[in-house]
Structures are given as structure tokens and as C-alpha cells.
């Protein structure tokens, strides 16, 4: 998803939805930021973005929490993944009791469960694509240039710093 915040007097007044795909992950930070700025709402199992061209809504299909890698069943939240009296977390206990000795199908989660820290939503309606490929490339380049300028302002030009270090080493006879 690509969103562009719209401002008036340095205050966010909404967003322009430039691209919205069918499946989307929403981090807690994006949810909190959107709620605070007023361009996102969440309720009745739907996340709605109040876009400039109209609302874009996603049906929530998975909330943050722990899920079995075998059957995708919810196995409690991260707070319930501390070992119990038997030394197993709720996710490990579910995998053992439900799936026996079957190894986890996910090599990155050998315990048989995973913790997801984001909401997963499925778009209600059609995908939004207001950018052409060329416009998307230009937008990406602008984002990169803006980020590079902010980093240079904060840390200085790293190319200049590298040149200064090489010159100092050469002057000291180290290089």
C-alpha cells in the first residue's frame, strides 16, 4: 500500500491512496498513527482508510497474536507464550497435542507456532492503482532522495566523511 499524507498548516488532514493491493498487513504503528491523525478507523472487523477519493476498506482476516504453523489456528497472544508448568508454551502445547511429532512446516518457526505483530486485511472491493509504473518509479526516487537528504542533514555526507578518513590515514602514513 502506498499512502501520501495530505497537509494543511503542517497538520495532516487526510491521505491519498496511491496503491492498495488485495492483501495488506497493517502494523500497530500504522493503525495507531492513522487513528491519531484521523484518516483511519477500525471497527466491526474492518479497517477503513478515509482516502481523498473515497474510503478504502479491508476486512480483518487475522489479528496480531500467535498462530499454529500446521493448521493456522490461533494459540493465544504473545503474552500467553511463556512456559507453563510443563515447560511448554501454549503454542508448543497445541502443536504437540494436535499434531503430535510432525515437524513444523515452517523452518523459521520450528516450535510449530508463529507470532504475528500485525493485522492482515483483505480489500473489500477493487484494488486501487492510481500510479502508472513511471509515476511509481518517480515517487520511489523522491522518497529515496528525501530520506538521503534527511540523513545527510543529520549525519553529514558519508561520502565526504569517507574521503576525509582516507585523507587522514594517508597523511598519518597508514594508507
Task: Express each pLDDT in 41-76 by its tens digit.
Answer: 999 999 999 988 888 999 999 889 899 999 989 997
d(CA 45, CA 56): 14
How wide is the angle at C-alpha 74 spanned by C-alphas 70 and 75, nearest 5°?
Answer: 90
Q: pTM higher than 0.75 for the full model?
A: no
Task: Enumerate residues 6+ apart whose C-beta is below 8 A from 42.
Answer: 31, 35, 48, 60
The domain limits of the chain are 65-115, 132-175
d(CA 118, CA 27): 5
What is the mean pLDDT of the segment spanning 85-89? 85
* Ranges of H-type helices in the chain: 28-37, 90-99, 133-155, 158-171
Would you place residue 78 in the very low, low, confident or very high pLDDT band (cuts 50, 70, 90)? low
Amino acid at each position: 500500500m502506498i499512502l501520501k499524507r495530505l497537509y494543511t498548516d503542517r497538520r495532516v488532514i487526510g491521505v491519498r491512496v496511491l496503491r492498495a493491493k488485495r492483501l495488506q498487513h497493517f502494523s500497530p504503528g500504522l493503525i495507531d498513527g492513522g487513528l491519531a491523525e484521523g484518516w483511519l478507523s477500525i471497527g466491526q472487523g474492518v479497517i477503513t482508510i478515509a482516502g481523498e477519493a473515497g474510503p478504502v476498506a479491508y476486512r480483518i482476516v487475522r489479528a496480531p497474536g500467535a498462530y499454529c504453523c500446521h493448521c493456522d489456528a490461533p494459540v493465544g497472544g504473545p503474552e500467553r507464550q511463556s512456559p507453563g508448568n510443563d515447560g511448554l508454551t501454549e503454542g508448543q502445547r497445541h502443536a504437540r497435542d494436535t499434531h503430535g511429532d510432525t515437524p513444523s512446516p515452517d523452518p523459521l518457526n520450528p516450535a510449530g507456532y508463529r507470532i504475528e505483530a500485525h493485522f492482515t486485511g483483505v480489500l473489500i472491493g477493487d484494488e486501487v492503482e492510481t500510479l502508472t509504473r513511471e509515476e511509481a518509479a518517480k515517487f520511489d526516487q523522491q522518497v529515496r532522495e528525501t530520506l538521503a537528504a534527511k540523513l545527510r542533514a543529520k549525519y553529514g555526507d558519508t561520502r565526504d566523511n569517507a574521503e576525509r578518513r582516507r585523507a587522514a590515514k594517508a597523511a598519518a602514513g597508514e594508507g
